[in-house]
Amino acid sequence: MKDIFKINLQLFAEMNTNTTLDSGLSVENKTYYDMTLIDEAQANLVHGQFAQKRPIPKNGGKKIEFRKFASLPKALTPLTEGVTPDGKKLSVTSIEAEVAQYGDYIVQSDVLELTSIDNTIVEATKILGRQAGLTLDTIVRNVMQSGTNVFYAPKSDGSPVVSRSGLDNTCVLTVDLVERVVAFLKKNNAPKINGDFVAIIHPYTAYDLRKDPLWRAPHEYTDTEHIYNGELGKISGVRFVESSEAKVYEGGVFGCLFMGDGAYGDTEITGGGLETIIKQKGSAGTADPLNQRSSIGWKAMKTAELLVEPYMVRVECKSALSDEIEAN
């Protein structure tokens, strides 16, 4: 058997050996990395896809404004022939939120760049994009979970539950409970999203819902261009979106979110909301005197806000699989 020698390729590199990135990052490459980061992030942005969107204001401070319009009262006074009544004015409420900045980065060595088979910048961009998406999604999710309209799943014998601590593993999401939530949203005149309400649930909650004898085959979609990210199916006028990032509280309690249009708002990830930062070897000056380190990172400005509480409902339930899950 022949001896196998490991060769350090860096020993054969001349001092200050350059890679393609050292000649300067072109506009095309910067755009490519930005889009790669955003594409990877968007795959994980489940909770923000139904929000009222607001772009990050450039040079506009840290405040962002969401606006909601009040409904008009019923016009029950009969019109008088030939007399034009006074019209109504739109009532607009401004809700301000303060954006915060988030981010992370990866440092890689010149040896890695020289010896790696893969394009490590691209791979790092993808990994960071997924991290960015999960981070930004969680920020929005936690705001959505803060609503005050809460339903607790009853026990299997029909006994009502009035608090999270009263839930046991028989308190699962059922079609009957879905229909109760739909009735609540309709009572509050919550507008629908593309003709239906929307719910975001965990895969374990979806498992229980499919076991319900009242569950029917999900909606068969003919319009495949307008399927939501993570969409599972539709029943009782609710389109269900499945996400492993749906909220899980301590003790295996799931927070299922049901909503109508305009219930909440969040910030865009494009147009300044999410940015790729690439630092080439030597860009740190005397902090990197031998041009040994480069880095790639992301930062984003993000906030979310509940806008119309009656349009958002949280259903807290457990699952037959609750013992297998940790809080997130």
Q: Assign residue 25 the CATH number of its domain.
A: 3.30.2400
From residue 229, alpha-carbon distances to 46, 69, 130 in Å are: 6, 28, 15
Examine the domain organization and report whether 182 and 198 are in the same domain.
yes
User: CA 205 from chain center: how many Å?
Assistant: 18
- The CATH number assigned to the domain holding 195 equals 3.30.2320
Examine the domain organization and report whether 131 and 181 are in the same domain.
no
From residue 240, alpha-carbon distances to 35, 143, 164, 233, 293 in Å are: 28, 19, 23, 5, 46
Q: How far apart are CA 99 and CA 244, in angstroms?
A: 26
Examine the domain organization and report whether 190 and 248 are in the same domain.
yes
Examine the domain organization and report whether 130 and 21 are in the same domain.
yes
Contacts of 193 (CB under 8 A, 6+ apart): 50, 239, 259, 260, 261
Examine the domain organization and report whether 213 and 105 are in the same domain.
no
Examine the domain organization and report whether 138 and 26 are in the same domain.
yes
Does any domain span residue 9? no
* Residue 192 confidence (pLDDT): 96
Examine the domain organization and report whether 174 and 134 are in the same domain.
no
Q: Which alpha helices (DSSP H) does the chain contain, by range?
A: 27-42, 110-115, 120-144, 175-187, 203-211
Q: Are 114 and 281 in contact (CB under 8 A)?
A: no
Number of C-beta neighbours around residue 309 at 10 A: 14
Range 9-15, long-range pairs (CB < 8 A, 24+ positions): 9/111, 9/114, 9/115, 10/110, 10/111, 10/114, 10/115, 13/114
User: Structure tokens of 282?
Assistant: 């030597």
Q: How far apart are CA 31 and CA 11, in angstroms?
A: 34
User: Structure tokens of 208?
Assistant: 């229980």
Does any domain span residue 64? yes
Contacts of 93 (CB under 8 A, 6+ apart): 67, 68, 69, 70
Q: Are 167 and 320 in contact (CB under 8 A)?
A: no
Examine the domain organization and report whether 134 and 279 are in the same domain.
yes
Residue 127 sits at φ, ψ, to 5 deg, of: -65, -45
Examine the domain organization and report whether 109 and 183 are in the same domain.
no
Does any domain span residue 101? yes
* Structural domain boundaries enclosing 316: 149-220+227-265+307-324
Q: Are 306 and 141 in contact (CB under 8 A)?
A: no
* Residue 183 confidence (pLDDT): 98
Does any domain span residue 192? yes
How close are the terminal C-alpha atoms of the chain, in Å?
52
Residue by residue, pLDDT tens for the chain (328 residues) are 444 444 443 433 333 333 344 445 566 666 777 778 878 787 778 999 999 888 776 665 677 877 777 677 788 888 888 888 888 777 777 788 888 889 999 888 766 566 554 577 788 889 999 999 999 999 999 999 999 999 999 999 999 999 999 999 999 999 999 999 999 999 999 999 999 999 999 999 999 998 888 776 555 555 666 778 888 888 899 999 999 999 999 999 999 999 999 999 998 776 667 888 888 887 877 778 788 888 889 998 889 999 999 999 999 999 999 999 999 9
* Residue 15 confidence (pLDDT): 38
Examine the domain organization and report whether 49 and 176 are in the same domain.
no
User: 304 has which bridge partners?
Assistant: 266
Does any domain span residue 11? no
Domains of the chain: total: 2
Query: What does DSSP say about strands 150-152 and 63-69: parallel, antiparallel, or unpaired?
Result: unpaired
Query: What does DSSP say about strands 293-302 and 100-109: parallel, antiparallel, or unpaired?
Result: antiparallel
Does any domain span residue 193? yes
Contacts of 56 (CB under 8 A, 6+ apart): 64, 99, 267, 268, 271, 272, 273, 301
Examine the domain organization and report whether 56 and 106 are in the same domain.
yes
Amino acid at 148: T
Amino acid at 222: T
* Residue 162 confidence (pLDDT): 96
Does any domain span residue 76? no
Does any domain span residue 4? no
Q: How far apart are CA 183 and CA 328, in angstroms?
A: 30
Examine the domain organization and report whether 165 and 274 are in the same domain.
no
